[in-house]
Every structure is written in C-alpha cells, then in structure tokens.
Amino acid sequence: MPDLKIKISDLYKIFGSNGAAHIDKVRDGVGKTELLEKHGHVLGLQNINIDIFAGRIQVIMGLSGSGKSTLIRHINRLIEPTTGQIMIDGKDVLSMSASELLHFRRFDASMVFQKFALLPHRTVLANTTYGLSMQGIEQSEAEKRASHWLERVGLAGFEDRFPAQLSGGMQQRVGLARALATDADILLMDEAFSALDPLIRADMQGILLDLQSELHKTIVFITHDLDEALRIGDDIAILRDGNLVQQGSSQDIVLNPADDYVADFTKDINRARVLTLGTLSHQKPSVDGIALDSALTLEQAMNDLAASEKEAITVTKDGQMIGQVTMRDMIYAASRVKAGDGDTVTYR
C-alpha cells in the first residue's frame, strides 16, 4: 500500500451562527432537515473519515449539495471545520498558525477550480506564475517554469493572451498549469472539468491522466459525474447529504453499491467499460480459451473473444493463470444481473 498522505478523521461542518453548539445533536443522530428546521443550521459534513494515499487519484463524488466542494475546501482550510482532524504528512492542518497555513497553501497544495478562477486582468503567463510569485520565486525563473507547464498542457504560444480570449477548455488548461507550476504534492481539483463540454472534458481527463502517470501527485478530484470518476479515480468516495456512504475502487462501487443512492448513480454507466476480467474471473473446469490480462475491461475482452471464435477467456495476471471468464459471464455482468440470477455469476 502506498504511503498515507491525507488522513481526515471525525470531520464535521455545521454552517450557521453557532455550529459548534449543535455538534452533539448531530452526533446523536439529528439529521440535516431537522437541524435546519428546528435550529436554523445547515449540516455540511458529518463524520467524515477518509484516508487518501500518496500518488493516487482520490475521487469524491456526490450530487450538488452533498458537501463535496465543502469537503475539498477543508483540506486547504478555505473552510474551517466545526470539529475534526485533517492530518497531511503527519501534520495537523487545522492547528496550523496563519503563517504556517500560508506556507502550506503556497508549497504543499494547489487547487484547480470549477469556473477556472483565473485573474482576468493578467495574461495567461502571468496567471500561471501567480502561485510561483506567492512562493517568492523571482520573476524570470517563474516565467520559465510557467512556460514549461503551459507547454505541457498544450498552450504554448498563448502566453500573452488574456483569459477572456480563450475557450473554456483552454482556460482550464491555464488553471491546471497554474496549479502544477507550484510543484505542490497535493492537487485539489474542485469539479475542474464539469464546466467543459463532453469532448473537451474527455480531452482534459486524458491530459490529467498522462501528467499523473509521470508526476504521481496526490490528487483529490471532486465530480458529480460517475463516468469521470470511474475513468480517473483510483479510489472513489461517495458523499450524500454530508455523509460518506461508500468508499472503494471503481469495481466495488459498480458491483456492490452500498445503497440505492449509489446504485442510482451506477445505473446508467457502461459497466462493460468499467469492469475488468480480474473482477469476474473464477475457477471452472478448464475450457480451451484465449489468454487475456486481468486488467482488461469487459468491453475489450468481449471484442477479443468474439474475434477469436473461442468459448472462454483464460485470465492471466503477471503471466500466471488465475481463472476463467466465459462470454456468458461477461454478458451477465455487463447487463447488470443481480447475484444468483445467472448460474455462473459468483462474484457477489
């Protein structure tokens, strides 16, 4: 297991004039609606416990109002919690002094925003150097680094434009370059791609995954889009009404939704594109089949199997045979059959 980077424990946020006064009520089970109607306070987050590991992409998913943007803002303390603990590299963010917090924000965590939040009066280059100038890095050096990152996100040649002259996708590339330029270990992305149209969004996801395969940052990614979550998330946490309802890998979320809310989320996704052979494979009397890697998605595997004109797939991992999957298994899995409905579906 990789190193623990961010550990959030027992985090509560109650919005209102005196949130702390109502914390015990919430602990005793007073719900969001009751808290609002009887006490005039809004429950933002309750009992959040989550471990985020170094070098991984942690997706936090939920519908609007579920508290996901609130949660990500606790990590760099743009929002103060009512109670709880956030340890980053063993240091408690919540007990940092004002100057420690500034240092933390300058060097250890950077952020990408839903509506880009670029400075409209500054050029693309000057926007990208913003975090660097906060770090006290000299102008010419900052511009050199900023140009490097602008090039990495595909914006070379746009340095002297103003944000208003760019399309949404390009503006968010500037936002990404600005965040990457500070070289912080932690990247907080608040619905960073939600404002973009689907093609551009897929494009940006690709850019992010490419960069991540090389940079290995700890990324906390907020989204309301399950497809996006499944595509980029190593780990996924699902929030509802300020509660964490499920945490796990994409396979877990799709195969074993914790409740109807999560099941609802997963209803419309293309399961064949998410599930992998490894998840489905099981021991069975050996049939002659083609050998495929366990990390392959069903979509690819079905294609390969159909082309091979054989009956089954021999699933391998690191060259070792670990089990088998038949076309029938895959069709059942992809078409959302519940446990027990099919005679060979044993994964649940």
Partner 1 sequence: MALIDWSKITLTDPPQMPREVLRELKKGIDGTFREFSRGYGEAIENFFHPLLMFLKWFQDLLIETPWPLILVILGALSWWGSRSWKMVVGTVVAFLFIGWLDMWEDTMATLAIVSVATLLCIAIGIPIGILMARSDRVQAMILPVLDIMQTIPSFVYLIPVVMLLGIGKVPGLLAVMIYAVPPIVRLTNLGIRLVDKEVLEAADAFGSSYWQKLFQVQIPLALPNIFAGVNQTIMMALSMVVIAAMIGVPGLGVPVLRAVSNQYLALGVMNGLAIVAIAIIFDRVSQAFGKRLQKHREGEHGA
Question: Which backbone phi and psi does 65 adopt, to 5 degrees?
Answer: 90, 0
Q: Shortest distance, CB of residue 260 to partner 1, whole angstroms?
A: 33
Non-local (6+) Cβ contacts of 345 within 8 A are 329, 332, 333, 337, 339
- Closer CB to partner 1, 46 or 70, in the complex: 70
**Per CB under 8 A, does 78 bind partner 1?**
yes
Evaluate whether 123 touches 115 at the Cβ level (below 8 Å).
no
Count of C-beta atoms within a 10 Å radius of residue 178: 28
- Token representation of residue 256: 């074993």
Q: Shortest distance, CB of residue 142 to partner 1, whole angstroms?
A: 12
Please identify, among the stretches 16-24, 58-66, 104-112, 314-322, the one whose residues bind partner 1 according to the rule CB under 8 A: 104-112
**Per CB under 8 A, does 129 bind partner 1?**
no
**Per CB under 8 A, does 195 bind partner 1?**
no
Q: Shortest distance, CB of residue 128 to partner 1, whole angstroms?
A: 11
Given candidates 121, 144, 216, 348, which one binds partner 1 under the rule CB under 8 A? 121
Count of C-beta atoms within a 10 Å radius of residue 30: 17
Please tell me the distance from the alpha carbon of residue 234 to that of residue 5, in angstroms, as a whole number: 14
Alpha carbon 236 to its chain centroid, in Å, reads: 6
**Per CB under 8 A, does 63 bind partner 1?**
no
**Per CB under 8 A, does 177 bind partner 1?**
no
Element (H, E) at 344: none
Please identify, among the stretches 127-135, 141-149, 232-240, 340-348, the one whose residues bind partner 1 according to the rule CB under 8 A: 127-135
**Per CB under 8 A, does 102 bind partner 1?**
yes
**Per CB under 8 A, does 91 bind partner 1?**
no
Judged by CB under 8 A, the chain residues 224 through 283 that form the site for partner 1 are none
**Per CB under 8 A, does 105 bind partner 1?**
yes
Non-local (6+) Cβ contacts of 109 within 8 A are 75, 76, 88, 184, 185, 186, 187, 188
Q: Give the helix ranges, DSSP H, for 111-222.
A: 124-128, 130-134, 139-152, 168-181, 198-215
**Per CB under 8 A, does 182 bind partner 1?**
yes
Given candidates 110, 147, 218, 279, which one binds partner 1 under the rule CB under 8 A? 110
Positions touching partner 1 (CB under 8 A) are: 76, 78, 102-107, 109-111, 113-115, 117-122, 130-131, 134-135, 162, 164-165, 178, 182, 188
